[in-house]
């Protein structure tokens, strides 16, 4: 919740003010100790005290890209969005140079083009030294006017992308800004006035009238003045041509970048189409392989089922054959007097009964010396029959 933008804050350049700082740098700021301890709960009034404690400028530094307190306070200003009057007072503050630089950096991010040139160009006359922390953690010495020139001419400062602004000569041509007047021009004019006042007065003795010698209108001075005007005009034309060439080169560079991006997009689309065709071929081959595998699996299952049914019928026939042989052997074994019973024990009862009958026959056999038997045998012999035993 502490990292959210003020609900009353207005959008800057069509977006959330905190989005003017890149997301990676912004996340580094949110994770820094200075942001959590020193920037928590700051308002537009208490922010001035923290800005007065600054002793250097810079973006991020070190291997883990730690943010500087200057960058943390700039993001805090984007979060709370102080009034324009407070920012202008920051810039006009001559006692604390880092407060002035912080206000200029914030105005460069959020201000309009006219405000940027109106409030930052006067700071070209501030030549005080300031310390700037580099990306490797070392400090370097710079000046306020150099920092302001970086804000007005560069596209990147303190690891933050600056919004693009129009060139000054474009604004002058459109009437938005007046031609810039350098502070040195006033010094030159004062010096010329002093020289003109020091010019000696000549007196015409016969007439007793003063002769001012046109007070500085001598031919040499006129030539010098014309030369200075020509030099100034030449310098302005040169600056105008340089800015125009820069804009033309910048436009050509943007056209080249646009053509390069267009060519990259075409190559990307071509590669995407190639990959899509390759994926379609791969999908088609995969589907074909899957169908072939399915047919092979069905054929194997069908052959396996046929082999299984054939094996079952063969096993049934073998089982029936074995059962028939078993039944025949069993039937044959039950008809024989020497067969085995169901319990596997040899039946010896018929043999025993036969032996008993033979014993009984031997005991009841007729006596051959019996007279009846002898007469019966004689009768049988006369009839041609065999004798009785």
Which pLDDT score, from 0 to 100, does residue 1 have? Answer: 46
Q: Is the pLDDT of residue 367 over 70?
A: no
Q: Is the pLDDT of residue 380 over 90?
A: no
Could you read off the pLDDT of 342-363 as tens digits, one per residue? 444 445 566 676 666 666 555 5
Distance CA 217, CA 82 (A): 55
User: Is the pLDDT higher at 325 or at 11?
Assistant: 11
User: Is the pLDDT higher at 254 or at 385?
Assistant: 385
Q: Is the pLDDT of residue 90 over 70?
A: yes
pTM score:
0.50
Mean pLDDT in residue range 283-289: 84
Distance CA 265, CA 257 (A): 12
Given phi > 0 = left and psi -120 to 50 = alpha, else beta, which region is 137?
A: left
Question: What residues does each domain of the chain span?
Answer: 17-166
Which pLDDT score, from 0 to 100, does residue 351 have? Answer: 67
Distance CA 76, CA 17 (A): 10
| Angle CA 227–229–234, to nearest 5 | 95
pLDDT band at 341; cut points 50, 70, 90:
very low
DSSP alpha helix (H) spans, 157-218: 168-174, 183-197
Q: Is the pLDDT of residue 4 over 80?
A: yes
Return the SS3 of 157.
strand
Q: Is the pLDDT of residue 214 over 50?
A: no
Express as a percent the part of the chain with pLDDT over 90.
28
Cα separation of the two ends of the chain: 140
Mean pLDDT in residue range 363-389: 77
Q: Is the pLDDT of residue 313 over 50?
A: yes
Q: Is the pLDDT of residue 216 over 60?
A: no
Could you read off the pLDDT of 103-131 as tens digits, one per residue? 999 999 999 998 999 899 989 988 999 99
Buried b or exposed e, range 171-181, using 16+ CB within 10 angstroms: beeeeebeeee
Q: Is the pLDDT of residue 7 over 90?
A: no
User: Is the pLDDT higher at 330 or at 92?
Assistant: 92
Looking at residue 388, what DSSP letter applies? Answer: P
Which pLDDT score, from 0 to 100, does residue 175 have? Answer: 81
User: Is the pLDDT higher at 220 or at 98?
Assistant: 98
Which pLDDT score, from 0 to 100, does residue 252 have? Answer: 74
Element (H, E) at 254: helix 219-335
Tell how far CA 140 is from the center of its chain. 36
**Averaged confidence pLDDT in the chain:** 79
Distance CA 220, CA 180 (A): 29
């Amino acid at each position: 919740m502490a990292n959210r933008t003020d609900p009353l804050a207005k959008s800057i350049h069509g977006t959330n003010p905190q989005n003017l700082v890149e997301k990676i740098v912004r996340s580094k700021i949110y994770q820094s100790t200075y942001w959590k301890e020193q920037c928590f709960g700051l308002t537009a009034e208490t922010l001035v005290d923290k800005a007065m404690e600054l002793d250097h400028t810079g973006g991020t530094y070190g291997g883990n890209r730690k943010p500087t307190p200057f960058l943390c306070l700039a993001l805090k200003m984007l979060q709370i969005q102080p009034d324009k009057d407070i920012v202008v007072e920051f810039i006009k503050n001559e006692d604390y140079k880092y407060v002035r630089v912080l206000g200029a950096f914030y105005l460069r991010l959020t201000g309009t083009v006219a405000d940027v040139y109106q409030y930052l160009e006067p700071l070209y006359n501030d030549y005080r030294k300031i310390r700037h922390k580099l990306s490797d953690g070392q400090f370097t010495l710079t000046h306020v006017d150099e920092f302001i020139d970086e804000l007005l001419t560069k596209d990147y400062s303190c690891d933050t992308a600056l919004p693009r602004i129009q060139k000054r000569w474009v604004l002058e041509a459109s009437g938005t800004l007046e031609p810039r007047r350098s502070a040195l021009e006033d010094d030159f004019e004062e010096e010329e006035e002093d020289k003109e006042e020091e010019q000696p007065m000549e007196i015409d003795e016969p007439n007793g009238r003063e002769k001012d010698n046109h007070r500085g209108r001598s031919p040499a001075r006129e030539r010098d003045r014309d030369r200075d005007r020509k030099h100034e005009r030449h310098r302005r034309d040169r600056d105008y041509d340089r800015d125009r060439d820069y804009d033309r080169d910048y436009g050509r560079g943007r056209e080249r970048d646009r053509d390069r991006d267009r060519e990259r997009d075409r190559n990307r689309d071509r590669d995407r189409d190639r990959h899509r065709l390759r994926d379609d071929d791969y999908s088609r081959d995969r589907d074909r392989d899957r169908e072939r595998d399915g047919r092979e699996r069905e054929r194997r299952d069908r052959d396996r089922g046929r082999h299984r049914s054939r094996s079952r019928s063969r096993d049934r026939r073998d089982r029936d054959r074995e059962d028939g042989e078993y039944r025949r052997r069993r039937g044959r074994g039950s008809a024989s007097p020497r067969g085995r019973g169901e319990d596997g024990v040899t039946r010896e009862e018929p043999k025993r009964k036969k032996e008993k009958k033979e014993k009984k026959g031997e005991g009841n056999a007729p006596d051959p010396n019996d007279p009846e038997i002898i007469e019966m045998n004689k009768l049988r012999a006369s009839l041609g029959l065999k004798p009785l035993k």
